[in-house]
Structure 1
Amino acid sequence: MRRQITLLVAATTSIVLLAFLLPAAALVARVAESRALDAAQAQLQVFIPSVGLDERDEVAADLVGIQDGRTVAVRWSDGQWLGAAGVLGDDPAPSGAQERATEEGRYLLQPVRRGEEGTAVIEVFVPQSELRAGVTRTWLVLAGLGAALLVLAMLIADRLARSLTRPVTDLATTAHRLGSGDLSARATPAGPPEVREVGAAVNRLAGRIGELLVAEREAAADLAHRLRTPLTALRLDVEALPPTERERLLGDVDALSRGVDEVISEARRTVREGLGAGCDAVAVVDARVRFWAVLAEEEQRAVTVDLAAGPLPVRVAATDLGAAVDALLGNVFAHTPEGTGLRVAVRPRPDGGAAVTVADDGPGLDADAVDRGHSGGGSTGLGLDIARRTAEGSGGALRLSSPGQGTEVTLELGAPAS
């Protein structure tokens, strides 16, 4: 915007300067020419009485003393030239004053009647150098003046554009900080009234976002408190039932408890797509695998881990990636028989980021298991949905493959923003 304003002022100023300087330059040339011709005409008028009344020798003597840059010659009534022969040559004398232009300059011709002798002609030659005397210097002065005015106009336009664009740039910076998760960012209203109004609106929006996030976290905490108490009571009641019914109902209560935990985790999770959050995928996955390894050992599950050699930064918060990995590993433990092996791998992606793969040798999943509420096996399906949203929030995607025996879920995570 600043550049466009400066270019607009430069273009407008250039048009105005051209509209002023071009006529001025033409006027300077005409004035210089008129001044030279007027001086030549005055000199010509001085010689008219002498040529009309004096003798040939006296006129020739007067011509010798001229040293002002112009050439004065007289063709006597008998055709003889006093001085250098001029442009008239042997042509008949003109009937009146005449002006002739050549590439070298201008010739002023003035016939003078000498009674019965005939007509003499006075010829004054004005060279181009005199016709354009001072023109080039004046043009240079005008060009310098125009350049100075143009530079001055561009400097003023740049200052004006800066005063207009600085508040907009501040607004953009504030918006980027808000987008990167810094909810304390505020714009300083400045500039024109419209820009100040936008800045105030951005500040109100930032405050409202903070209020909504606080309300969301409070609602999630309240939901956890309200649901876990009756679930605990329900578990106690189920444990008091006969063994045949207790095992079946405890499984349902556990599934319901996991679903509630996933709902609460999702409610507390901040959407981070496009934000500045990031972590090392290798370190996070390694920590979560170590956590689940204890349970895997109890259930006699073979765990194969293939991690990249170095850190793999991804655009996901460590807590979100940990929750997504927990959801995928939890699905393996919840929906495959004990003793089923699993594999976890973290590999770099060609375009940056990382690919986290969790695979098992279980019975497999349906193709629509990644959709919320369609995982099958009696669960809510929120686990895979949380993983999918985590991958998409980083700029990646979730890929599910179930070739008939076993399931492979891959989180493609985007690289952090530079």
Structure 2
Amino acid sequence: MTAQGVPLRRRVLVVIVSVTALAVALFLVPLAVAVSLLFHDQTVAALQRDAAWVAAAVPDEPRTPLRLPTGLPGDLAIGGYDVAGARLFGDGPAHSRLAVSSTDGRVHDAVEGGFLAVSAPVPSDEGTAMVIRVATPNSQVEERVHEAWLLLGGLALTVIALAAGAAVRQSARLAAPLERLTTAAQALGGGDFSVRASPSGLRETDQAGQALESTARRLGAVLSRERAFSADVSHQLRTGLTGLLLGLESALSRPGADLAQAVRAALSRGERLQEVIDDLVRLSRDSRVPTEHLDVSALMEEVRQEWHGPLAEHGRRLTITVEPELPPVTAQPAAVRQILRVLIDNAVRHGRGEVAVTVSDVGPGLAIEVGDHGTGVAEGVDPFVRSSGDSHGIGLALARSLAEAEGGRLVLSRAGPPLFSLLLPGHDT
């Protein structure tokens, strides 16, 4: 047996033909034996009838020549024997053991000298006077049996041939859908997530095809999200690294620049970039449903410490408002932290005036809103659409994908002045 195993078509064909052949054999062997016994018994019954007819017509002291009844078959060998088995007249062997056995007054049959013979006693007042022996060639009986066997054998071959034809058709019907599933699975393994399995009419096979299609769609969606996530993460990291490098280059190019301050600023940006990397790596590895309770107060304090200084350098304020008694929310803090970084960074780069972060109760969940006093988003422009020439959309696309991964939504509540809302579903405690 090879590692590939036996093909299904061959397996089904062999099983069906084998079972059919076994059933035919179990049926035909007893039938063939019964046919042989039937022909033998029919011939013996006919010979017994003829022997009784002849015995009734023979006188106790037969005359020569003996006048036999008319109407007897021409191929019969008819002879008369004494009680010792010696032939008195007619055809047959000179001595017959079968004739001796009929001295008991009963009819007997046996194959004797290549003939199927029957002996019938001729009764008299003193007992059995003689025995009449009637025989026919046994080859004729065997020939009839063989003809019947050939007919049964032809019937058996016909049945097996029909079963083989049905097996070929059924095996093709069973194997073809599986072969198509194999081809689809190979295409899926090669990266084709558009595979579709055509219906076969077999419930189990169709269920497997539907499962394969569903898996292909999920894998395609996951791969698309992973690719988009990787591209967005790469943009976020490049943006932070570019800012760090530009700060150092500016300090080096300015005469009399405070290099110590530049190094401290670079270290601060490096630490922030390290936090971004840690958060993104953690999010990329953790695909489970989040179970951690989101500490909104602690998260807002992190936002205050991280963004108060950069906004103050540009003469802008950061105000954070948290409503009391917020509903409990389950989300990964790293994901929410990255979403807020994108929104606030977007407000710092593209907005003006005060940046306001508001956390409010919205029924079953909560909303975290980030707004500023900039001109906002132009009419007809989707800020979440990625564009190679617009870093604004790339960062927001990452934030939206992180929000959706947490079961929430990130929407543009107001185009101008811009107001972005992160909606997170509540969690019953």
Residue 203 of structure 1: how far off its partner (Å): 0.7
Q: Partners of 2:23 and 2:15 in 1: how far apart?
A: 12
Once residues 183 and 169 of structure 1 are traced to their aligned partners in structure 2, the CA distance between those partners, rounded to angstroms, is 18
Deviations 1:37-77 (A, max 9, x none): 12211211221132225742141x53999763231111258
Amino acid at match of 1:27: A
Q: 2:30, 2:120 → 1: CA distance? A: 33
Q: 2:22 is matched with which residue?
A: 15
Partners of 1:93 and 1:119 within 8 A in 2:
no
| Alpha-carbon separation, structure 2, partners of 1:100 and 1:201 | 74
Contact kept, 8 Å, 1:14 with 1:150, in 2: the verdict is yes
1:83-94 equivalences in 2 (<5 Å): 83=90, 84=92, 85-88=94-97, 94=103
What is residue 148 of structure 1 aligned with on the other side? 158
1:12–1:233 CA distance, 2 compared to 1 (3 A): same
In the TM superposition, what are the counterparts of 1:153-164 in structure 2 within 5 Å? 153-164=163-174
Report the 3-state secondary structure (helix = DSSP H, G, I; strand = E; otherwise coil) of the residue aligned with 1:56: coil
How far did 1:184 drift?
A: 2.4
Partner of 1:70: 76
Aligned partner of residue 132 in structure 2, secondary structure: strand
Give the equivalent residue in structure 2 for 1:208. 218
> Following TM superposition, by how much is the alpha carbon of 1:11 offset from its aligned partner in structure 2, in angstroms?
2.3
TM-score by length of structure 2 reads 0.52
Tell me: CA distance 1:191–1:77, structure 2 relative to 1, closer, same or farther (3 Å): closer
Moved more, 170-179 or 4-13: 4-13
- The alpha-carbon distance between structure 1 residues 77 and 217, as it changes in their structure 2 partners (threshold 3 A), is closer
Counterpart mapping for 1:141-290 below 5 A: 141-242=151-252
Query: Which range moves more in the overlay, 13-22 or 62-71?
Result: 62-71
Separation in structure 2 between the aligned mates of residue 74 and residue 127 of structure 1, nearest angstrom: 18
User: Which structure 2 residues correspond to residues 12-411 of structure 1 after superposition, within 5 A?
Assistant: 12-52=19-59, 55-59=62-66, 61-62=67-68, 68-75=74-81, 81-83=88-90, 84=92, 85-88=94-97, 94-102=103-111, 104-115=114-125, 119-242=129-252
- Shift of the 37–89 alpha-carbon distance from structure 1 to 2, 3 Å rule, reads closer
User: Which structure 2 segments of 5+ residues have no match?
Assistant: 1-7, 254-258, 285-429
* CA distance in 1 between partners of 2:130 and 2:23 (Å): 52
Asked which structure has the greater CA Rg, the reply is 2
| 1:171–1:187 Cα contact (<8 Å) kept | yes
The one-letter amino acid paired with 1:41 is Q
String of CA shifts for 1:5-25, please: whole Å, max 9, x gaps.
222222221222122211211
Give a deviation string over 1:252-295, Cα, whole Å, max 9, x none.
Answer: x99xx9xx99xx9xxx9xxxxxxxxxxxxxxxxxxxxxxxxxxx
- TM-score (normalizing by structure 1): 0.53
1: distance between equivalents of 2:57 and 2:28?
45
The DSSP-based 3-state class of the residue aligned with 1:101 is: strand
Shift of residue 2, structure 1, vs aligned partner: 2.6
Indicate conservation of the 8 Å contact 2:48/2:120, yes or no.
no
Distance change >3 Å, CA 214–CA 43, structure 1 → 2: same
Structure 2 counterpart of 1:411: none
Say whether 1:2 aligns with 2:14: no
Cα distance, 1:106–1:99 mapped onto 2, change above 3 Å:
farther
Cα pair distance change 1:168/1:193, threshold 3 Å: same
User: Stretches of 4+ moved more than 3 A in 1?
Assistant: 61-67, 76-80, 88-93, 113-118, 240-247
Secondary structure of residue in 2 paired with 1:240: helix
CA displacement at 1:218 relative to structure 2? 1.3
Q: Give the residue type in structure 2 aligned to 1:75.
A: Y
The residue type paired with residue 213 of structure 2 is: N
Q: Distance in 2 between matches of 1:117 and 1:163?
A: 77
CA distance in 2, matches of 1:160, 1:187: 20
Q: CA deviation at 1:102?
A: 3.8
What are the superposed Cα offsets for residues 136-189 of structure 1, whole Å, 9 maximum, x if unpaired?
111111111111111111211221222222211111110001111222222113
Deviation at 1:119, TM superposition (A): 1.0
Asked whether the 8 Å contact 2:78–2:135 carries over to 1, the reply is yes
Change (3 A) 1:91 1:141: closer
SS, match of residue 138 in structure 1: helix
Gap change, CA 1:219 and 1:55, over 3 Å in 2: closer
Please tell me the root mean square deviation across aligned C-alpha atoms, in Å. Answer: 4.1
**Cα 1:179–1:77 shift into 2, 3 Å:** closer
Gapped runs of 5+ residues in structure 1?
A: 269-418
